[in-house]
Amino acid sequence: MAQEGRPLIDIHAAAEFLAGGQKRVRTLLGGMLTAGKLPSSLLFTGPEGSGKELMALHLAGMINCEKPGHQIEDRCAACEKLSTLEYPDLHLIYAIPSGPPEKSIPVVIESRREDFLSAGEFGGRARSIGIGQVRTITEKVSRQPFEGKRTLVILCEAHLATIEAQNAFLKLLEEPPASTILILVTEFTDRLLPTIRSRCQEVRFDFLPEETIAGFLETFYSVEKNESKKLAAMAAGSIRRAIRLLDKRFLDMRNDAVSILRMILEGKARKLPAEAEAAAREYSREETGQLFGEMISVLRDLMRMKEDGLDESGRQRLEHHLGGAAIDAAAGRDVPADIRKIETATRNLGRNVDIELTLTQLMLDLAGKWY
Ligand SMILES: [Zn+2]
């Protein structure tokens, strides 16, 4: 638990640490900033958990820092305020459940302050970014910056913005107030209006290196060195995934993902509707997405094994999880097609399709029993 009034992880420090794992992006942004050529609209894309939102905050620090190059312990007032998300020229737009935003927005901000990398405060409830939220921010940024050099607007999980909200944001992109920088963050760029994409300079993030993830777990979550290395290897480039792996519930969910996949591969289709129902009862929308992510990660290992690209420990892990029968049954499968089906189901979850329906359809489709 966080100490009273103190965040679990220091956002400014965390942003700086992860930016060190995205050297190419950091150099690119730093270069544009130094040359006075930072575009007013940026689109941060790339895999989940690659530190896109934290890089946006890191950029806010680079722009508005009053003592560039200072140490974390000796930071300026601007960076101090950024680290608690209280910087007046920083506007974060988050997806929220339906209902009055003035109720749910403080919940999100409070949970981000406590642990920036957590995002499960609304459980399975469908979330979106509404036009009202965009209008409120537009009004705020039409005034001059209060304290800093530039105002920053960060549209987090931009793919969850409704079409109306995207159109309202497009107006802001077309005529941004003079000192404002707009950053859209999403791994699903195909769900943004083409007109939005064409207005933004796209910045692609890479998977985070294992050593960055291990170091992050040691520094911010007090994980021991051996453990952090193991978790970083399992995290496959995602800091969010690494943090989830610290959680017993996630490990249970991972086991569920493996057992469902095993049933599918072994052709036990009759058991699947009950499995889907149980999983839908157990897991939130976000967790179901993670369940799909785990299924994909096991299938990727399976694919690598087929191509003879899996090392000995990976092979043992896979055999231990799936068992020989399932692996043999998978020999004739089109695994990339399976992965694409799971990716489509993941996108459907993001589109607020019913969780149980998504699970049932996917499982039966993968098992080849579609009725
Ligand atoms: Zn500073």
Count of all residues that appear for the chain in the document: 371
Dist. CA 245 → ligand 1 center (Å) = 32
Dist. CA 201 → ligand 1 center (Å) = 26
DSSP tag of 82? H
Burial (CB count within 10 angstroms: exposed 0-12, middle 13-18, buried 19+), residue 347? middle
Dist. CA 67 → ligand 1 center (Å) = 5
Dist. CA 111 → ligand 1 center (Å) = 23
| Six token digits for residue 111 | 């949970």
Residue-wise burial string across 173-185, b where 16 or more C-beta atoms lie within 10 A, e elsewhere: beebbeebbbbbb
Dist. CA 77 → ligand 1 center (Å) = 7
Dist. CA 12 → ligand 1 center (Å) = 9
Dist. CA 50 → ligand 1 center (Å) = 23
CB 96 within 8 A of CB 78: no
**Residue range 247-367, CATH number:** 1.20.272.10
Dist. CA 151 → ligand 1 center (Å) = 15
The three-state secondary structure class of 222 is coil
CB 184 within 8 A of CB 158: yes
Burial (CB count within 10 angstroms: exposed 0-12, middle 13-18, buried 19+), residue 283? buried
Residue 90 to residue 343: CA distance in whole angstroms: 33
Q: Give the phi and the psi of residue 33 in degrees, each rounded to 5.
A: -65, -50
Q: What is the pLDDT of residue 313?
A: 72
Dist. CA 60 → ligand 1 center (Å) = 10
Dist. CA 42 → ligand 1 center (Å) = 22
Dist. CA 178 → ligand 1 center (Å) = 23
CB 123 within 8 A of CB 34: no
Residue-wise burial string across 330-344, b where 16 or more C-beta atoms lie within 10 A, e elsewhere: beebebeebbebbee
Residue 239 to residue 232: CA distance in whole angstroms: 8
Output the pTM of the full model.
0.75
Dist. CA 30 → ligand 1 center (Å) = 15
Q: What is the pLDDT of residue 112?
A: 87
Dist. CA 75 → ligand 1 center (Å) = 5
Least Cα distance to 331 among 308, 366, 302 occurs for 302
Dist. CA 38 → ligand 1 center (Å) = 19
Query: What stretches of the chain adopt beta strand conformation (E)?
Result: 41-45, 90-93, 151-155, 180-185, 201-204
Q: Tokens 């086991």 identify what position?
A: 255
Comparing 11-204 with 247-367, is the CATH topology the same? Answer: no
Torsion from C-alpha of 46, 133, 95, 207, nearest 10 degrees: 20
Q: What is the pLDDT of residue 8?
A: 67
CATH superfamily of the 11-204 domain: P-loop containing nucleotide triphosphate hydrolases (3.40.50.300)
* Contact residues for 83 (Cβ-Cβ < 8 A; gap 6+): 7, 10, 11, 12, 13, 75
Dist. CA 112 → ligand 1 center (Å) = 20
**Average pLDDT of adjacent 10-residue blocks, the chain of 371 residues:** 54 94 97 95 95 96 90 89 89 91 89 80 81 94 77 95 97 91 95 96 96 95 92 90 85 89 89 92 89 91 82 79 86 91 92 91 84 43
Dist. CA 277 → ligand 1 center (Å) = 50
Q: Tokens 């007032």 identify what position?
A: 77
Q: What is the pLDDT of residue 7?
A: 53
So where are the chain's domains? 11-204, 247-367
CB 284 within 8 A of CB 120: yes
Dist. CA 102 → ligand 1 center (Å) = 30
Q: Are strands 41-45 and 180-185 parallel, antiparallel or unpaired?
A: parallel
Least Cα distance to 97 among 47, 133, 48 occurs for 133
Q: What is the pLDDT of residue 17?
A: 95
Residue type, 355: I
Residue type, 356: E
Dist. CA 134 → ligand 1 center (Å) = 28
